[in-house]
């Protein structure tokens, strides 16, 4: 019950209330690693990046590393201004799951314009280019990540210039 309540609070942008519920759930069952992961995500949303890393380490010690954990670690590292480590984590995520749109969108936002061509590699490895690129662009646009959206679109033009996604999203990205 506390895990569900915590999740609902976080989804409703009531992070503190969600964290309190997650803490209650962990008092009842300290082995509930799904709660620990949700707590990590909420701590990242709150801006407690060191707390998020600690929660992630507890999750990792029990479960191991997975792509979603790498994404949350990357978010914490960005919050701590450790962009090189965040970039490494996001690239590792994409090496495991090439079509992970959230990792792709966040990597595009993180890579400086001077190194934008580094996105060509991950885009070239997409198994479902149009769908995954579209999803990554949707995320970038929804989160108003202007530079990341532009970087994705520019790289897509180099990797697969005939993609219909480019024509569909170009005016949306331009409007950001």
For the chain, percent of residues with pLDDT exceeding 90: 97
pLDDT at 106: 96
What is the SS3 string spanning 18-39?
HHHHHHHHHHHCCCCHHHHHHH
- Residue 132: half-sphere exposure toward Cβ, Cα within 13 Å: 19
Query: CA angle 28-31-34, nearest 5°?
Result: 100
What are 47-104's pLDDT values in tens digits? 999 999 999 999 999 999 999 999 999 999 999 999 999 999 999 999 999 999 999 9
**Mean of pLDDT values over 14-18:** 95
Tokens of 152: 């994705």
Q: Return contacts of 113-120, CB within 8 angstroms, 24+ apart.
A: 113/147, 113/151, 116/151, 116/154, 116/155, 117/155, 117/158, 119/151, 119/152, 119/155, 120/155, 120/158, 120/159
Identify the residue with better confidence: 29 or 113.
29
Q: What is the pLDDT of residues 121-154, one digit of tens each?
A: 999 999 999 999 999 999 999 999 999 999 999 9
For residue range 108-120, list pLDDT tens digits in order.
Answer: 999 988 899 999 9
């Amino acid at each position: 019950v506390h895990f569900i309540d915590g999740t609902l609070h976080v989804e409703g942008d009531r992070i503190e209330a969600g964290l309190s519920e997650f803490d209650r759930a962990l008092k009842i069952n300290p082995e509930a690693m799904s709660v620990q992961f949700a707590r990590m995500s909420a701590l990242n949303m709150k801006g407690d990046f060191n707390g998020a890393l600690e929660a992630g380490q507890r999750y990792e010690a029990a479960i191991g590393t997975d792509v979603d954990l790498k994404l949350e670690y990357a978010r914490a590292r960005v919050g701590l201004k450790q962009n090189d480590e965040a970039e490494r984590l996001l690239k590792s995520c994409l090496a495991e799951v090439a079509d992970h749109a959230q990792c792709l969108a966040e990597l595009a936002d993180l890579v400086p314009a001077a190194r934008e061509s580094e996105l060509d590699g991950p885009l070239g490895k997409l198994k479902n280019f149009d769908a995954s690129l579209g999803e990554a662009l949707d995320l970038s646009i929804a989160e108003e990540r202007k530079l990341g959206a532009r970087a994705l679109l520019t790289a897509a033009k180099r990797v697969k210039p005939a993609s219909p996604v480019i024509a569909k999203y170009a005016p949306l990205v331009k409007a950001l």
